[in-house]
Amino acid sequence: MNSLPITEDDLQAYVDKALDAARQVEVAAYLDGHPEVAQRVQGYIRQREELRAKLAPIAEEPIPARLNLVRLVDRRRRSRVIWRQVAAAVVLLGIGWGAGWSVHGAFPQPASRGIAALAQQAAESYAVFAPDHTRPVEIRAVDRPALVAWASRRLDRPVTVPDLSRSGYHFMGGRLVATAQGPAFLFMYDNDHGTRLVMLTRHMIIDRNTRMMQSVEGSVVGFTWADKGIGYSLVGPVLPEVLHPIANAARRQIERNI
């Protein structure tokens, strides 16, 4: 018989019964001839069984109420309904503000302004466009030059689409978004796990130069900053410590190109 030499990986797979039947037999035959190795492998098998036995009771415990998945899903759904109502209120407030402005009335101002408003708009755009499977972007990445030209024309400024591929996020494309402060452009990215990030950029009326601020809207984290009158907000459902360096990389690229 001319079989392959037995490797350490074979021994581990033997312990886990992950070998095919023929190889399992070969490893067993090898162990018969090598009692020292066999003793070591027996130790691993005992260890595996002991770990399983010691930890098994945890998996058999009744699941605590707070880990009830149906309840968690339900709670999120309700919070999203509330969030939608808040969003509707913001829109109404925006309309009211617009109407008030048009008659130069003295209506109360919207709750968030400047950089905070941009962060909120980015989170709202994320919530609307990122889950969209049909048409998350208007112009796809292949038409990047056309998108950049269009964005630069509408924002009256050369626009840079940051390349986040070194962080594992690939450019999907972009779209034009309406905001109370005028046109904004949304750029969308995704990684191999299907996680999407959204960057929103537009002119700033106030907060025209600000350092980076962190925000959280539900499970969506955002980093927002402004430079020379243009605001940028990068948002996504990832931990702040993950998103922060990506936002820094985007800012560096934009600064280099202004």
| 68 Ramachandran zone, left/alpha/beta (phi>0; psi -120 to 50) | beta
Binding residues with another protein: total (CB under 8 A): 49
Rounded Cα distance between 254 and 163, Å, is: 10
Supply 11's token pair. Answer: 């021994």
- At residue 118, what are phi and psi to the nearest 5 degrees? -65, -40
Site for another protein in 211-240 (CB under 8 A): 218-219, 237, 239
Indicate which single residue of 6, 87, 139, 212 sits in contact with another protein (rule: CB under 8 A): 6
- Kindly indicate which of the ranges 15-23, 96-104, 138-146, 204-212 contains the residues binding another protein, using the contact rule CB under 8 A: 15-23
| 1, 21, 22, 67: which one binds another protein (CB under 8 A) | 67
Tell whether residue 20 is a contact of another protein (CB under 8 A): no
Give, in order, the Cα–Cα distances in Å from 171 to each of 162, 165, 174, 217: 8, 8, 9, 23
**Residue pair 135/173 in contact by the 8 Å Cβ criterion:** no
Minimum CB distance to another protein, residue 221 (Å): 12
The only residue of 3, 25, 28, 76 in contact with another protein, by rule CB under 8 A: 76
| Helix/strand/coil for 130 | coil
| Minimum CB distance to another protein, residue 239 (Å) | 7
Least Å distance between CB 130 and another protein?
7
